[in-house]
Amino acid sequence: MDTDLALILGLVVGGLSIPSIMSAISDRRSPRASVLTVLIACGLLYYATATKPGGYQIDQIPNVFFSVLGRYF
């Protein structure tokens, strides 16, 4: 898997898990599925940062996001 794609997927999955966590907490349920998606997101982010030489800088993320969108769409 491309490290840029893994980074973007990790950020998107992690961002989408936040409403699920908040919903489970407000309904007084245990957020089991949400924790699983957060773990997946963390794994993708770790893979992306560990395998890319030099890692990523915060200011590179928007450029990486739009380059991945341009490549696959």
* Boundaries of every domain in the chain: 3-70
Distance CA 48, CA 31 (A): 26
Instruction: Check residue 1 and give its pLDDT.
Output: 80
pTM, 2 dp: 0.89
Residues 6+ apart with CB under 8 A from 2: 68
pLDDT tens for 5-61 read: 999 999 999 999 999 999 999 999 999 999 999 999 999 999 999 999 998 999 999
Question: Does the pLDDT at position 73 exceed 90?
Answer: no
User: Which one, of 13, 65, 7, lies nearest residue 40 by Cα?
Assistant: 13
Q: Which two tokens stand for residue 41?
A: 């997101």
Instruction: Check residue 72 and give its pLDDT.
Output: 84
Distance CA 12, CA 64 (A): 13
CB atoms within 10 A of CB 41: 19
